Amino acid sequence: MVWVTGFYTLAETEKTIEGRLSGLEIDFTSQAAIANLYRAANSVRKYFSNTVLRSNDLSWTGFVVLWVVWIWPGIEVRHAAEEAGISKSTLSGVVRTMEGRSLMRRRIDPVDRRLVHLELTDEGDRMMVDLFPRFNGEEAFAVSPLNAKKVQELTRSLKAIVAHLEANMPESTGD
Amino acid sequence: MVWVTGFYTLAETEKTIEGRLSGLEIDFTSQAAIANLYRAANSVRKYFSNTVLRSNDLSWTGFVVLWVVWIWPGIEVRHAAEEAGISKSTLSGVVRTMEGRSLMRRRIDPVDRRLVHLELTDEGDRMMVDLFPRFNGEEAFAVSPLNAKKVQELTRSLKAIVAHLEANMPESTGD
DNA sequence: TGGATATGATTCGTATCCGAAAGAATAAGG
DNA sequence: CCTTATTCTTTCGGATACGAATCATATCCA
């Protein structure tokens, strides 16, 4: 975070941290990795929000949810939340927003009436067909400072972290 | 996202995307990198929120703000927001929360009364002294599936993406 | 079959989160 | 000086964000 791009320089920050933590054993390598992971995700979300997504007045999460439903029409709510990486309660609110903008629809399962299926409206579908290629273009732009091999290595490392944390996630009661 | 851990597999997802975009070329490598970056940041935030941070009833953002002010006592609001990677308006709310919990203080600059300096209370300082080593321990745990070289490579790649996007970020009017 | 149990989605309360607008103070330029 | 512009923070409105509680439906099993 601080030592990435901010007002204070990398050297300043690391020195200050070490000063503040003298006597404590700190793993600075791991810290730098997690801090930059957080920072990078923030930059990506902000960049996409201010470029491709702004033109369609979509938030990052709104786009992700739209994308999930676009790829998997009729997906059930709990699966959509899992795929989008948000809680069911958050998804519920986002779907409400998307319904209000006529981009998405709820459909109650006729057999098991507890289940709710999600699908895009024609308008939502048209938006994604137009938007996704531009979104993907920005994805390519975002990783363009890395060569193909480094991009794949990055993906591998990120997947390893996700798998590791998912496997060790303390179970949360419910959402 | 979808192809990381979810209900559907990578192969399924890619085929579906291709079907939806017949004729258009999609850069799946870049897409996987960005999607996993987003997913990893989510996992990390969730994992830390449910382990070390839960014990002190802190949100991820709350911790980051506390950390920034801990490292840079007396930091001005706009710089703290920049360092924490959030907008000034968001920071304002978080500081209000932290003030209410007696962890942080505002101090108006006596010379330039527009400026507000932030600093931890003694209680906030004690919390960070106790919390940060445990937080750092979890950081090391999070990246433990990677060897030291891969962690540094990951950090390098993430920094490159951040620098690239920051350099190309469309200026936002104000926050 | 009918009460207990389980499963799904939504609602509720509270805390982020952002951009735009407002509010407060300083700086600039005649 | 004193208007105007600039800088800095906060407030406001609306959308995300989560966990807990609630509501609705389905399943279990005696």
User: If we measure between CA atoms, which residue out of A150, A157, A78, A146 comes closest to residue A118?
Assistant: A78
Higher pLDDT, B162 or A25: B162
**Over residues B73-91, mean pLDDT:** 96
Asked whether the beta carbons of residue A29 and residue B162 sit closer than 8 angstroms, the reply is: no
Residues facing residue A105 across a β-bridge: A119
Q: Rounded to an integer, what is the distance from CA A174 to the centroid of its chain?
A: 21
Q: What is the dihedral of CA B86, B89, B96, B66, to 10 degrees?
A: 20
| Percent of chain B that is helix, strand, coil (3-state, to 5) | 65, 5, 25
Judge whether A17 and B71 are in contact, CB under 8 Å.
Answer: yes
Q: How confident is the model at residue A19 (pLDDT cuts 50, 70, 90)?
A: confident
Residue in chain A nearest B162 by alpha carbon: A40
Residues with CB under 7 A from strand C: A 42, 46, 49-50, 76-78, 88-89, 91-93, 95-96, 106, 114-116, 174-175; B 59-62, 85-87, 89-90, 93-94, 97, 112-114, 172-175
pLDDT in tens, B36-50: 999 999 999 999 999
Longest Cα separation, chain B: 64
* Per-chain mean pLDDT for chain B: 91
- CB neighbour class for A106 (10 Å; exposed up to 12, middle 13-18, buried from 19): middle
Number of domains in chain A: 1
Is there a domain that residue B44 lies in? yes
pLDDT at B15 over 70: yes
Q: Is A154 part of any domain?
A: no
pLDDT-derived band at B4 (thresholds 50, 70, 90) equals: very low
- State yes or no: pLDDT of B174 exceeds 70: no
Is residue A14 scored above 80 in pLDDT? no
The parent domain of residue B41 ranges over 1-13+30-50
CA of B15 vs C1' of C5, distance in Å? 40
Residue A40 lies in a domain: yes
- ipTM score of complex: 0.91
Residue B150 · residue B111 · CB < 8 Å: no
Instruction: Assess if residue B174 is contained within a domain.
Output: no
Interfacial B residues in 84-143 facing A (CB < 8 Å): 84-85, 132-133, 136-137, 139-143
If pLDDT is split at 50, 70 and 90, which confidence band does A172 have? Answer: low
Nucleotide nearest to B77 (CA to C1'): D9
**Residue ranges of A 13-32 with Cβ closer than 8 A to chain B:** 13, 16-17, 20-21, 24-27, 29-32
**For residue B1, pLDDT beyond 50:** no
| Domain-located, residue B106 | no
Nearest to A161 among B1, B43, B85 (CB): B43
Q: Is residue B146 part of a domain?
A: no
Give per-residue pLDDT as tens, A52-72: 999 999 999 999 999 999 999
State residue A111's pLDDT score: 96
How close B97 gets to chain A, by Cα (Å)?
A: 21
User: With contact defined as beta carbons under 8 Å apart, do B161 and A145 qualify?
Assistant: yes
What average pLDDT does the segment A1-5 reach?
A: 39
A2, A37, A68 member nearest B71 (Cβ): A2
Quote the crossing angle between the two packed helices B10-20 and A122-142, to the nearest 10°: 110
Cα(A27)–Cα(A115) distance, integer angstroms: 46
* Domain annotation covers residue A112: no
Asked if residue A6 is part of any domain, the answer here is yes
CA distance A28 to B50: 22
